[in-house]
Amino acid sequence: MEKFVIQGGAPLSATIPVSGSKNSALPALAACLLTAEPVTLHRIPPVRDIGTMIDLIRYSGAEVHVEGERVTITAASIDKPEAPYEVVKTMRASSLVLGPLVARTGCARVSMPGGCAIGARPINLHVTALQHLGAEIRQDHGYIEAVAPNGLRGGTVHFDRITVTGTEDILMAAVLARGETIIENAAREPEVVDLAHLLTRMGAKIEGAGTSTIRVQGVDKLGGAEHTIIADRIEAGTFLIAGAITRGDVAVTGCVPEHLRALIAKLQQAGVEVTETAPDTLRVRVPGSLRNTDMTTEEHPGFATDLQAQFMALMTQAEGISFITEKIFENRFMHVQELARMGANIRLEGRQAIVAGSTRLTGAQVIASDLRASASLVLAALAADGETEIDRVYHIDRGYDRIEAKLNAAGANIRRVAH
């Protein structure tokens, strides 16, 4: 087990490079199962969840060659179209292989994901959508078995609620289904658009990715391709907030400002100066005091739930009361009690956190619970007086590539300690 030991108080000042998006790389890796030809992906972030997905793809029988941030996958033959419990229990996004495996081999056996720290997170919507494309589904012994002996057929899929990986799963199934598929109430996240770009390069026929309705003309087979993953907008947003909470002068480069409009608007509302100094670079400074700012998480292009905990840490430093409402997950406030141990004044009322600022944060021993909650504890520790210990930092390693190296290069004082 490892922990971070963080000495707070130093304003960060640097240009921090952003890595490729974990949440775009995961479906892109799964998409490689759709063809027997080699697919090469660039800018794959070397984070724990990516390693898990690569293990899963190797388990199915595909060949994976990793060279730094370049990954080449050749799924010439898939002899085990499965996602076993041991893997799925560590990463819910394993369900992203469900669609590709059924589409490519006509069958898939995927363990149901357990719950996780932020909510029940079922995959019922993925399953229902696959049934609309002709898959027969059986659920037993904790597994979902999907079979389509005569292949999938196009159809209309309407999602009861917007689901990012649900949209991605069914998009990957539809590209090899016979005929046309229409996906209604689709997720509009940039990661969905990036996946559609990769699939199109592989020969898929897709229109409307990034809107609520995606139209797919199925093709008989897909070919190989090369593709570079988009920047990680959540990592970029996390570093922008790190610059603001430490009253520093931080530029984040290699990002896509267009993907961060909701965060930028909220930061500016809170009194943070955000400027686009280059097409791929955003810079933050805090000229005066931070102002309380209400925020509600929404599906993209609304405020990303994956930045809620980080924004909440910032609001503990803003004058006044901030109402933060989490509309995507039912239990995404695990960071609140830990922030309170550092001096934050936050009251929970159902889906709403009421943050009373600004409060002086002091270093304390805290525990990471999920990926983004852990990131918010790092941000609070950077702003706190004294020393903070964050235990179970493996949660952070799931989605951040060398976070302490990037922040220390900006003037932070973070030590990773085994214990």
* Residue numbers at the binding site for ligand EPZ (CB under 6 A): 23, 26, 92-93, 119-126, 161, 163-166, 191, 305-306, 328-329, 371-372, 399
Three-state SS sequence of the chain:
CEEEEEECCCCCEEEEECCECHHHHHHHHHHHHHCCCCEEEECCCCCHHHHHHHHHHHHCCCEEEEECCEEEEECCCCCCCEECHHHHCCCHHHHHHHHHHHHHHCEEEEECCCCECCECCCCHHHHHHHHHCCCEEEEECCEEEEECCCCCECCEEECCCCCHHHHHHHHHHHCCCECEEEEECCCCCHHHHHHHHHHHHCCCEEECECECEEEEECCCCCCCEEEECCECHHHHHHHHHHHHHCCCEEEEECCCHHHHHHHHHHHHHCCCEEEEEECCEEEEECCCCCECCCEEECCCCCECHHHHHHHHHHHCCCEEEEEEECCCCCCCCHHHHHHHHCCCEEEEECCEEEEEECCCCECCEEECCCHHHHHHHHHHHHHCECEEEEECCHHHHCCCCCHHHHHHCCCCEEEEEEC
- Smallest gap from Cβ 327 to ligand EPZ, in A, equals 9
Q: How many C-alpha atoms does 241 have within 13 Å on its Cβ side?
A: 31
Q: Which is nearer to ligand EPZ, 156 or 275 (CB)?
A: 156
Q: Which is nearer to ligand EPZ, 14 or 34 (CB)?
A: 34
- Smallest gap from Cβ 125 to ligand EPZ, in A, equals 3
- Smallest gap from Cβ 300 to ligand EPZ, in A, equals 7
Out of 32, 107, 116, 255, pick the active-site residue: 116
Q: Which is nearer to ligand EPZ, 197 or 283 (CB)?
A: 197
Q: Which is nearer to ligand EPZ, 170 or 407 (CB)?
A: 170
- Smallest gap from Cβ 226 to ligand EPZ, in A, equals 22
- Smallest gap from Cβ 104 to ligand EPZ, in A, equals 20
- Smallest gap from Cβ 387 to ligand EPZ, in A, equals 27
| 116 catalytically annotated | yes
CA-CA distances (angstroms) from residue 247 to 159, 276, 322?
A: 42, 18, 19
Q: Which is nearer to ligand EPZ, 292 or 311 (CB)?
A: 311
- Smallest gap from Cβ 325 to ligand EPZ, in A, equals 14
Q: Which is nearer to ligand EPZ, 5 or 137 (CB)?
A: 137
Q: Which is nearer to ligand EPZ, 191 or 397 (CB)?
A: 191
Judge whether 133 and 170 are in contact, CB under 8 Å: yes
Catalytic residue list: 116
